[in-house]
């Protein structure tokens, strides 16, 4: 059981690191808003993971080059596409 916990905990740690790096949380007096911000962060993180898997599944993928981009680049592209 300890081995399984340590093996699968790596994915949770990476998810927590990426969500903590760019967060949408803000101070609010409404009770439901922190839940909304958490769900928004989770949806953005999951979209980033899906875009990475899609990019890596393409035939032109080269592991030596960072074609897919970074998490920050993904966030910037997401904001730009939402604002246009």
pLDDT (tens digit, 9 = 90+) per residue, 42-77? 888 888 888 888 887 877 766 666 556 778 888 888
Q: Model pTM greater than 0.75?
A: no
What backbone torsions phi and psi does residue 82 show, to the nearest 5 degrees? Answer: -75, -30
Structure tokens at 34: 């922190």
CA distances for 1 relative to 11, 15, 23, angstroms: 17, 22, 32
Q: Are 55 and 61 spatial neighbours (Cβ–Cβ below 8 Å)?
A: yes
Interior angle at CA 70, CA 67 and CA 71, nearest 5: 145
């Amino acid at each position: 059981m300890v081995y399984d916990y340590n093996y699968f905990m790596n994915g949770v740690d990476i998810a927590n690191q990426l969500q903590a790096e760019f967060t949408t949380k803000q101070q609010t007096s409404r009770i439901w808003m922190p839940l909304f911000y958490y769900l928004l962060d989770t949806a953005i993180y999951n979209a980033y993971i899906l875009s990475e898997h899609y990019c890596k599944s393409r035939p032109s993928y080269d592991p030596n080059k960072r074609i897919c981009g970074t998490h920050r680049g993904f966030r910037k592209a997401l904001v730009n596409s939402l604002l246009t």
